[in-house]
Every structure is written in structure tokens, then in C-alpha cells.
């Protein structure tokens, strides 16, 4: 069977490699970082992700969904913490079976690598420094971990090497020839990770089964639960202006921010000042490009072709869905890589753009609107609609729990529906109408 090279053994690359190995290809994966399973992995702080239906469908495809779910913590809704100290739970869906799953990036990546190890036709090389990708020849040059200059060649190269993708940069190197469209857009906010330590005997100090938000209008903090009872806490603040990462310089500035804005949170984080000072600020950006393929020889997938901001919890799910769609396309066109690549990018580009837009929208919703009266009323109404009508899905539910609907359609339908419901709630008309009448209005929108 044909040989394929995968560049990057992150979440998307490893899942892709696994699926391609299952399909019988000879798969060689090259990864810049060391093997996390062999390096001294120190527990504690970890990046958390929210695994939901689209990602789960792809894990099911390769047969490891149930195994992965064992390492997840269900989150049934948002726990919102107001400045005055109140908190309330806003479910993600009116349907009990619809929830998202907090999972550690490292754990998940290691599980995927374990699953990949079982295939004789799949090899992963770690600690490889890329020198050059010849996108026309599917030929790569690199320095291996012992410092030897090497090269490899295959039928195709697929770049799953994330937002900073070297494979995408090689496509961009042929801008004029490929008419390569590209954009990078940063939010004026960055993020910083902090943590809530586990309580005694691994107890959760705040509600375990929720995604916590401390929305403060122009900025916010969120927290996701970890298996050991800790929470990964992420601050999303602007770089400049009031409480900006660049403007909070002294200890006093930082303490003042937390005491004034997050008084209810810091009692769980005695060490927040040190963590704040030690941990770096990360940027939040959206990357788009097109074409995703060149010459039927090179393709980019996942964050390498569509990196998004994290506010819909869909970055990983979208990357996993890429693998699902790629598998579907292979079922149709296997044997002709040009057709496979072209069909893949045609089918997937609009969806990648849609989830990128939705993720930016959700940033404004989370930091700001979740605390609005009309917004809260709308969420309540949506819960009632979801409980009452099998065919009703909120925008959030369409994106998160309705994997058979594309991101593109979810965005289009979801935005129209949001507009209608928010208008009703703002005008207080939702109380005059029956749920049945409101659901009819929604159905009319979509017909």
C-alpha cells in the first residue's frame, strides 16, 4: 500500500495517522517535540479542551471513543459567577444526554499515540527538526534527534503541524503560483493560565461538572475541571487598557485586579499572584488560508489550515472532524490524491470559516452577554424549547451536539434563530407566546 508522510503528531496528526494506518497505508509521522510518554511529564497544570460530539464521532470511527471518555469529566453547563458573588448554572442543552467533556490535551494525545503504536504500518519519529518541504514532490528534509541530516519521500505529505505550520508556510512560499490566500487575525486580548489546586483527597473545590465563567464585560476568567480535582483557570484579558496584561505591572496592580474583579475566585487560589507572574501570556488568533492542497501532493489539515480562537470549544473538534470528512472523501475518490485533496478542501473550507466566525462571536457572548437579563431569558427559553421539541436546537447545540449538521449550516441557521429569540426576549414578547408558537416561528425561519 502507498506510503504517506504526516507532519506533526499532535491531536489531529495522530488521529489521522491512526485512521490511515487502519485503511492500510504505510504511515510515517514526524514530530518536532519529544515523546510526551517518555519525557518526565509533570502533572499539575495542563491545557484543557472540551471534547464534544464532532470530536467523539471521529474517535468512534477509529474505535477509541469509549476509552477516551473514561479520562473525561462531563460538563453539563456553564456555571456563571457574578461580581457580587452570586452564581448560577446555565445548562448547555435542554437535553440531559447533551454535554461536553473536559479532557487534558496531554492525556488525550498520549492515548492517541498508544493506539497508534499498535499498528506495524505506522511509525512516529519524535524530536525532528524540519528543514524543507518540497510540496510538489512530497519530499521532506529534516535533522533527526541524533543530529543527522535526513530526507524522506512519499506519495503525499499531510501537514497537521498546528497554527505555526511549516507545511502551510511552504504552500505560502508559492503564493503567486498557487494564488495562495492567507490571513492571520489577532484579538486584542491574550490569555494566561492559572490553577485551582485539588482539595483534600482530590476533592473539587467548586462544582465539578461545569465550565465556570467569571464574566466581567471587557474580560473574563474561565475554569475547567481536571480528573485530579484541580481546575485549569484561564484569564482572557486585553493587552492594553484597564486590567490589561501590559498595563498590570506591579504586584499591587495584579492584586488590585483580582481583589476587585474576582474576589470570589481568589479564595480558591492562594497562590494566584506567583502563578500570574510566572506564566506567560498567549495570543488568540484566527488563521485562514486557501487552497489547502497543492499538486495533489501536499495537504494541510486541522489548525495548520484553520486555527481558531478557543471560545466555542471547537478547535480540536473541528480538527478531528477534518479527519472524519477526509475519510468520507477517501471512500469516494481513493486512488486519486488530486481528487481526494480537492474534494476535501471544497467540502470543508466553508465549515472551517464558519466555526472561525462563531468562535469569535462566542468570545463576546461569554465575557459580556452571559450576564445580560435578555440573554439569560433567551437561554431559559431555549432550554424549554429543547426539552419540549425534539427538532429544536439552539445555535450552541447545533454546533456542539448536532454533528450531522455542518458548521456552515449551524452558523447560518443559528444566527437567524438567535436574532429572533433575542428580539422576542428584549421586547418581553416571549412570555405572551406559547412555546409551540415560538417553535413555529423558528421553523418558519429555517424553511
Closest CA to 394 of 350, 438, 447: 438
Among 97, 147, 148, 179, binds a second copy (CB under 8 A): 179
Q: Based on CB atoms, which residue is closest to a second copy, 182 or 364?
A: 182
Q: How many residues contact a second copy, by CB under 8 A?
A: 14
DSSP string for residues in 206-272: S-SSSEEEEE-SS-EEEEEE-TTS-EEEEEEEESSSTT-TTT--SHHHHHHHHHHH-HHHHTT-TTH
Q: Based on CB atoms, which residue is closest to a second copy, 181 or 391?
A: 181
Q: CA-CA distance, 394 to 379, in Å (whole number)? A: 9
In this structure, the chain runs to a length of 447
Write down the least CB distance from residue 177 to a second copy, Å: 9
Q: Based on CB atoms, which residue is closest to a second copy, 284 or 410?
A: 284
User: Binding to a second copy by residue 280, rule CB under 8 A?
Assistant: no
Q: CA-CA distance, 219 to 217, in Å (whole number)? A: 6
Inter-residue contact 28 to 17 (CB < 8 Å) = no
Q: Which residues of 178-214 are buried (b: 16+ CB within 10 A; e: fewer)?
A: bebeeeeeebebbbbbbbbebeeeeebbbbeebbbbb
Tell the burial category of 36 from Cβ atoms under 10 Å away from its Cβ (0-12, 13-18, 19+).
middle
Question: Which residues, other chains included, contact 114 with Cβ-Cβ below 8 Å and sequence gap of 6+?
Answer: 37
Write down the least CB distance from residue 187 to a second copy, Å: 8
Among 145, 151, 153, 182, binds a second copy (CB under 8 A): 182
Q: Based on CB atoms, which residue is closest to a second copy, 110 or 172?
A: 172
Q: Based on CB atoms, which residue is closest to a second copy, 94 or 190?
A: 190
User: Binding to a second copy by residue 41, rule CB under 8 A?
Assistant: no
Reduced to 3 states (helix: H, G, I; strand: E, B; else coil), residue 349 is: helix
CA 230 to chain centre: 21
Among 181, 271, 338, 440, binds a second copy (CB under 8 A): 181
Pick the stretch among 29-37, 174-182, 371-379, 428-436 that binds a second copy (CB under 8 A): 174-182
Among 188, 278, 331, 446, binds a second copy (CB under 8 A): 188
Q: Based on CB atoms, which residue is closest to a second copy, 41 or 182?
A: 182
Pick the stretch among 118-126, 130-138, 175-183, 385-393 that binds a second copy (CB under 8 A): 175-183
Q: Based on CB atoms, which residue is closest to a second copy, 75 or 284?
A: 284
Q: Based on CB atoms, which residue is closest to a second copy, 183 or 440?
A: 183
Torsion of CA 250, 254, 257, 258, to 10 degrees: -160
Reduced to 3 states (helix: H, G, I; strand: E, B; else coil), residue 333 is: helix
Pick the stretch among 121-129, 176-184, 198-206, 431-439 that binds a second copy (CB under 8 A): 176-184
Is the preceding omega at residue 233 within 30 degrees of 0, hence cis? no
Residues 207-266 that bind a second copy (CB under 8 A): 239
Among 183, 271, 278, 443, binds a second copy (CB under 8 A): 183
Binding site for a second copy (CB under 8 A): 175-176, 179-186, 188, 239, 283, 285
Amino acid at each position: 500500500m502507498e506510503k504517506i508522510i504526516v507532519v506533526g503528531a499532535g491531536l489531529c496528526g495522530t488521529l489521522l495517522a491512526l485512521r490511515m494506518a487502519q485503511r492500510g497505508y504505510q504511515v510515517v509521522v514526524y514530530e518536532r517535540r519529544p515523546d510526551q510518554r517518555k519525557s518526565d511529564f509533570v502533572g499539575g497544570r495542563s491545557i484543557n479542551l472540551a471534547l464534544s460530539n464532532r470530536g467523539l464521532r471521529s474517535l468512534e470511527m477509529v474505535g477509541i471513543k469509549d476509552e477516551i471518555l473514561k479520562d473525561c469529566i462531563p460538563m453539563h453547563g456553564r456555571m456563571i459567577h457574578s461580581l457580587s458573588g452570586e452564581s448560577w448554572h446555565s445548562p448547555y442543552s435542554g437535553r440531559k444526554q447533551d454535554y461536553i467533556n473536559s479532557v487534558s490535551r496531554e492525556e488525550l494525545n498520549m492515548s492517541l499515540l498508544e493506539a497508534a503504536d499498535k499498528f506495524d504500518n505506522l511509525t512516529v519519529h519524535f524530536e525532528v527538526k524540519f528543514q524543507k518541504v518540497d510540496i510538489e514532490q512530497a519530499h521532506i528534509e529534516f535533522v533527526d534527534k541524533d543530529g543527522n541530516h535526513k530526507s524522506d519521500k512519499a506519495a503525499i505529505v499531510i501537514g497537521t503541524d498546528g497554527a505555526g505550520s511549516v507545511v502551510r508556510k511552504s504552500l505560502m512560499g508559492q503564493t503567486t503560483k498557487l494564488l495562495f490566500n492567507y490571513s492571520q487575525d489577532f484579538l486584542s486580548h491574550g490569555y494566561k493560565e492559572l490553577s485551582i489546586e485539588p482539595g483534600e483527597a482530590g476533592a473539587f473545590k467548586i462544582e465539578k461538572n461545569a465550565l465556570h465563567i467569571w464574566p466581567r464585560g471587557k474580560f473574563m476568567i474561565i475554569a475547567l475541571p481536571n480528573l485530579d480535582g484541580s481546575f485549569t483557570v484561564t484569564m482572557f484579558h486585553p493587552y492594553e487598557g484597564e486590567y490589561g496584561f501590559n498595563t498590570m505591572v506591579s504586584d499591587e496592580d495584579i492584586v488590585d485586579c483580582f481583589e476587585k474583579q474576582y474576589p470570589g475566585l481568589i479564595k480558591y487560589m492562594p497562590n494566584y499572584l506567583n502563578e500570574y507572574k510566572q506564566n506567560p501570556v498567549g495570543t488568540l488568533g484566527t488563521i485562514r488560508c486557501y487552497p489547502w492542497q497543492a499538486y495533489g501532493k501536499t495537504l494541510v489539515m486541522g489548525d495548520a489550515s484553520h486555527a481558531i480562537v478557543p471560545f466555542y470549544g471547537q478547535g480540536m473538534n473541528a480538527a478531528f472532524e477534518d479527519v472524519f470528512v477526509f475519510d468520507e472523501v477517501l471512500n469516494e475518490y481513493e486512488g486519486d490524491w488530486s481528487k481526494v485533496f480537492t474534494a476535501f478542501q471544497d467540502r470543508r473550507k466553508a465549515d472551517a470559516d464558519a466555526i472561525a466566525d462563531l468562535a469569535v462571536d462566542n468570545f463576546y457572548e461569554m465575557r459580556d452577554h452571559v450576564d445580560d437579563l435578555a440573554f439569560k431569558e433567551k437561554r431559559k427559553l431555549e432550554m424549554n424549547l429543547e426539552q419540549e421539541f425534539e427538532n429544536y436546537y439552539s445555535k450552541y447545540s447545533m454546533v456542539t451536539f448536532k454533528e450531522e449538521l455542518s458548521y456552515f449550516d449551524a452558523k447560518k441557521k443559528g444566527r437567524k434563530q438567535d436574532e429572533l429569540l433575542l428580539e422576542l426576549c428584549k421586547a418581553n414578547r416571549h412570555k405572551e407566546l406559547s412555546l409551540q408558537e415560538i417553535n413555529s416561528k423558528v421553523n418558519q425561519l429555517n424553511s
